[in-house]
Chain A
Amino acid sequence: MSNNLDLKKGLNIPIKGAAAPEVIKTVSPDIIAVKPTDFKGLVPRLLVKEGDTVKAGSPVMADKNRPEILLTSPVSGSVQQIVRGEKRKLLAVIIKADAEQSYVDFGAKAPGNAAEAKDLLLRSGLWGSLVQRPYGVTANPDLMPKAIFVSSFSTAPLAADTDFALGNSLADIQAGVDALAKIAPVHFSIRKDVVSSTPFHKVENAVIHVVSGPHPAGNVGVQISHIAPIRKGETVWTVSLLHLAAIGHVVNTGKLDLTRKVAVTGPAAPKTGYVTALPGTPVQSLTAVPDGARVIGGDVLTGEILGADGYLGFFENQLTLLKEGTEREWFGWAKPFRPKVHSSSWCYFSWLTPGKKYDMDTNLHGGPRAFVQTKCFEDVTPMDIFPIYLIKACLAGNIEKMEQFGIYEVLPEDLALCDYVDPSKNEIQAIIQKGIDLMIKEMA
């Protein structure tokens, strides 16, 4: 069974630096970082100390409030360093990798029921890959979700091509779907334009949705809002295709293997392409970083700044490198033509060159102002909500209005394009996140 979902609103940001589908490097790093900060709503408690030896799949941390949620090591080796920040906040556990990898055996067996499936996810450390909506936090094992959603593709700028990166993992993906289907119905979306060529159209035991449209059509949150909108009191889980394959791999082989093809992208990347690596790999071993470039884990809309000395995050399969846009252009706003700057607004002339890719940098292109134009938000938000009203409700901290205007359905990533298009340069994602944080605090 398949359902069509054709979305019209949105915007594909034309940025240079896409990764061609070829693996340019395979990294087996000396050290790996396990970062609890990758997991929202999780309070880490350390289970290892410096000098301990771990296998790939051994627990390193647990959640303080729900100790059954474990974070496990993606490699075997010894704990080299515990990195703490301000107020002794646990930032990372650095593990020195062995030359020969050894794995914890979770037993290659398909789970027979929901309890077994949950148990496998918790033990293997893959529970952290389940993101619970509303609010986008690590899933609560005590809840039964209404459904589990997987988007098999990303429309984000320069995102990794999942057909290339995970096309060979169909057996693992199917096993992952089967395991999750024990917990709740699985909804699986595929891209319409590749519907006949993508390996993922063979996925069974899931409700298939065929989705078309510009970014954010690939965002699982946007798809959920059309397929089965989340209302008060409901929960759904989402998991990325990457982790779905990892779950299936544990089911099929009993081993935790988080190896992924990481797309190294962006206008400032010295060499674009795919690098095979584990999460927690130092950025330096993934790519050379030009002086002063910003290294983003993820895409340019939603990614976090890793820095040249950072480590790839648990959820990330993309690095984007950007120049810092500190250069000041004379009379920028007054020039009739600015061929180097993209604008989705017809106040500039980017519409004349629809196929052009831009060498974008991090310049804000303006100063912060009050909201003036607001239709631009609706034009890039293919959801049944009024973005500006939700944004204002979040600013006002009005719980009732936030509920009415759809706070349960959105994560900042779903409104990331609003950041991009706003002529008043408001930080929409930060505003939405603040609203979500308030909801978590008040509704707890």
Chain B
Amino acid sequence: MAEEKKPWWYSTFDAFDTFLRVPGTVTAKGAHVRDGIDLKRVMIMVVIALVPAALFGMYNVGLQTSTLYGLDWNFWHMFWYGLLRMLPLFVVSYIVGLAIEFASSQIRGEEVNEGYLVTGFLIPLIVPVDVPLWMLALAVAFSVIFVKEVFGGTGMNIWNPALVARAFLFFSYPSSMSGSSVWVSKTWVPALKDVDAISAATPLAIAHDGAFDAATGAVGQYSFMDMFWGFIPGSTGETSVVAILLGAILLVWTGVASWKIMVSSIAGGLLVGWLGQLAGATALPCYYQIVMGGFLFGSVFMATDPVTAAQTETGKWIYGFLVGALAVVVRLWNPGYMEGMMLAILLMNTMAPLIDHCVVSVHTSRRAKKAINA
């Protein structure tokens, strides 16, 4: 039976249609009954897991602005400012990304994959809040086209598209992505229109310059608890350990992300942080590496992307450990660049197939030996 020719708008129609209603497709071969799970459900779980970090991040955007510029805002003022400030980032991220995703699916004649639901939510959370929207749009377009679609769409990509979008911005527009004046939003506050930007370094940068008070445990003006709860400048989603852990619990509970990667990544970070302290590369106790910067956000939400991470269970331990270890190595032994998580994950994304290859090779040769002995 010749397959029915689908109209050119099929992918877009199908995406909206199946978004609203479960498709009426029945099994044609193989198992006659199927599990209720599909990728839409899997992906929405990740988005839900990101919600605590996103909500806290919005509040923190307002909090940082209010504190730094002495604006005396109340809680809701802070939250609404953050929400409104973040909204355009989400809108741009989703519109640009989904438009490319839909167009690519139609060119390929496939159904639209749900992967971008997560990517589009992640990207605004890992960039400075005041990043110009045209830059964001450019980064999203670059990442979706060259990191995902040219490889064949979600499931085929080698690198995490959200991180590549961030890396694209980082290397193309460093002045908007790093330094000490990009982390606190002021562009949308009318009262601050003519006020010069005040520098507000992240704890990571402060610690990098050596301003760690061993007696109080504070990094510059930020105490350990500030960093733990997330009342510090940084990318919107990454600051609060508590909010990220809430998401991590959901991801591990539902089995959507691998706890092995999370645990081994943190173990790797702790180990190298401890060695660095012993070697005198830093005065910081090793657990500070976990609560500062994007380490935990990366370990929980980025390194665990099932497509770009290692796929064997043994490989996940190795992959996660190296992500965490490398991230802290970059932090401690790199004179210029103080956040290593992004590049550590991207590097390990590249290496993941090699790790899997080694794990599988060891397994196959063990099987072959067993056959000879049997």
Which A residues are within 8 Å of any B CB, using their own CB?
Answer: 13, 15, 157, 228-229, 231, 294, 296, 300-303, 305, 320, 322, 324-334, 338, 341-348, 350, 360-376, 378, 384, 386, 388-389, 404-406, 412, 416-417, 419-425, 427-430
A417 to B370, CA, bound (A): 27
Closest beta carbon of chain B to A360's beta carbon, Å: 4
Whether the Cβ atoms of A423 and B32 lie closer than 8 Å is no
Assuming the A-B contacts A375-B313, A378-B313, are A344 and B35 also in contact, with contact meaning beta carbons closer than 8 angstroms in the complex?
A: yes
- Some 22 contacts from A to B, beta carbons below 8 A apart, are A294-B32, A302-B31, A303-B32, A331-B20, A333-B40, A342-B35, A343-B36, A345-B37, A348-B37, A348-B41, A363-B22, A363-B24, A364-B26, A365-B36, A367-B14, A369-B111, A372-B115, A373-B42, A375-B258, A386-B312, A388-B311, A423-B38
Assuming the A-B contacts A328-B22, A372-B306, A406-B367, are A347 and B34 also in contact, with contact meaning beta carbons closer than 8 angstroms in the complex?
A: no
Beyond the given pairs A348-B41, A367-B18, A370-B155, 11 more chain A to chain B contacts, judged by CB atoms under 8 angstroms and listed by A's residue number, are A13-B33, A229-B371, A231-B371, A231-B374, A300-B31, A334-B44, A361-B33, A364-B23, A364-B25, A365-B22, A366-B23
A329 to B38, CA, bound (A): 14
A334 to B18, CA, bound (A): 11
Whether the Cβ atoms of A374 and B367 lie closer than 8 Å is no
Whether the Cβ atoms of A326 and B27 lie closer than 8 Å is no
* Interface 0/1 of B129-166, CB less than 8 Å to A: 00000000000000000000000111110000000000
**Complex contacts, B368 vs chain A, CB 8 Å:** 404
Majority secondary structure of chain B interface residues (helix, strand, loop or mixed): loop
B36 touches which of A296, A301, A342, A422 (Cβ 8 Å): A342
A423 touches which of B22, B42, B360, B370 (Cβ 8 Å): B42
Whether the Cβ atoms of A229 and B370 lie closer than 8 Å is yes
Of B22, B25, B115, chain A has the most CB atoms within 10 Å of the CB of B22
Whether the Cβ atoms of B35 and A327 lie closer than 8 Å is no
Whether the Cβ atoms of B29 and A430 lie closer than 8 Å is yes
A376 to B255, CA, bound (A): 9
Whether the Cβ atoms of B35 and A343 lie closer than 8 Å is yes
Q: Does B77 contact A (CB under 8 A)?
A: no
B306 touches which of A228, A363, A373, A406 (Cβ 8 Å): A373
Whether the Cβ atoms of A366 and B39 lie closer than 8 Å is yes
Q: Does B67 contact A (CB under 8 A)?
A: no
Closest beta carbon of chain A to B51's beta carbon, Å: 14
A345 to B36, CA, bound (A): 8
A347 to B313, CA, bound (A): 21
Whether the Cβ atoms of A329 and B306 lie closer than 8 Å is no
Whether the Cβ atoms of A332 and B22 lie closer than 8 Å is yes
Whether the Cβ atoms of B155 and A333 lie closer than 8 Å is no
Whether the Cβ atoms of A322 and B30 lie closer than 8 Å is no
- Considering only residues 31-59 of chain B, those with a C-beta below 8 Å from chain A are 31-42, 44-45
Closest beta carbon of chain A to B48's beta carbon, Å: 10
Q: Does B218 contact A (CB under 8 A)?
A: no
A422 to B41, CA, bound (A): 12
Assuming the A-B contacts A324-B26, A367-B111, are A345 and B14 also in contact, with contact meaning beta carbons closer than 8 angstroms in the complex?
A: no
Closest beta carbon of chain B to A418's beta carbon, Å: 9
**Complex contacts, B37 vs chain A, CB 8 Å:** 343-345, 347-348, 365-366, 421, 423
**Complex contacts, A324 vs chain B, CB 8 Å:** 26
Of B34, B153, B255, chain A has the most CB atoms within 10 Å of the CB of B34
A303 to B32, CA, bound (A): 8
A368 to B38, CA, bound (A): 9
Whether the Cβ atoms of A423 and B39 lie closer than 8 Å is yes
Closest beta carbon of chain A to B364's beta carbon, Å: 5
Whether the Cβ atoms of B31 and A368 lie closer than 8 Å is no
A338 to B22, CA, bound (A): 12
Closest beta carbon of chain A to B41's beta carbon, Å: 5
Whether the Cβ atoms of A423 and B313 lie closer than 8 Å is no
With both beta carbons as reference points, the residue of chain B lying nearest to A370 in the complex is identified as B155
**Complex contacts, B113 vs chain A, CB 8 Å:** 369-370
Whether the Cβ atoms of B312 and A346 lie closer than 8 Å is no
Q: Does B199 contact A (CB under 8 A)?
A: no
A329 to B311, CA, bound (A): 33
Whether the Cβ atoms of A15 and B111 lie closer than 8 Å is no
Whether the Cβ atoms of B24 and A370 lie closer than 8 Å is no
Whether the Cβ atoms of A331 and B21 lie closer than 8 Å is yes
Assuming the A-B contacts A330-B21, A333-B38, are A325 and B26 also in contact, with contact meaning beta carbons closer than 8 angstroms in the complex?
A: yes
**Complex contacts, A344 vs chain B, CB 8 Å:** 35, 37
* Interface 0/1 of B360-374, CB less than 8 Å to A: 100110011011001
B363 touches which of A300, A320, A363, A386 (Cβ 8 Å): A386
Of A329, A376, A419, chain B has the most CB atoms within 10 Å of the CB of A419
**Complex contacts, A417 vs chain B, CB 8 Å:** 31
**Complex contacts, B39 vs chain A, CB 8 Å:** 366, 369, 372, 423-424
Whether the Cβ atoms of A300 and B22 lie closer than 8 Å is no
Whether the Cβ atoms of A374 and B306 lie closer than 8 Å is yes
Whether the Cβ atoms of B154 and A365 lie closer than 8 Å is no
**Complex contacts, B367 vs chain A, CB 8 Å:** 229, 384, 404, 406
With both beta carbons as reference points, the residue of chain B lying nearest to A343 in the complex is identified as B36
Whether the Cβ atoms of B255 and A424 lie closer than 8 Å is no
Closest beta carbon of chain B to A325's beta carbon, Å: 5
A360 to B36, CA, bound (A): 10
With both beta carbons as reference points, the residue of chain A lying nearest to B372 in the complex is identified as A231
Assuming the A-B contacts A348-B37, A388-B311, A420-B35, are A430 and B27 also in contact, with contact meaning beta carbons closer than 8 angstroms in the complex?
A: no
**Complex contacts, A378 vs chain B, CB 8 Å:** 313
Closest beta carbon of chain B to A5's beta carbon, Å: 16
Q: Does B330 contact A (CB under 8 A)?
A: no
Whether the Cβ atoms of A362 and B23 lie closer than 8 Å is no
A378 to B24, CA, bound (A): 28
With both beta carbons as reference points, the residue of chain A lying nearest to B356 in the complex is identified as A389
A364 touches which of B34, B254, B313, B360 (Cβ 8 Å): B34
A356 to B44, CA, bound (A): 26
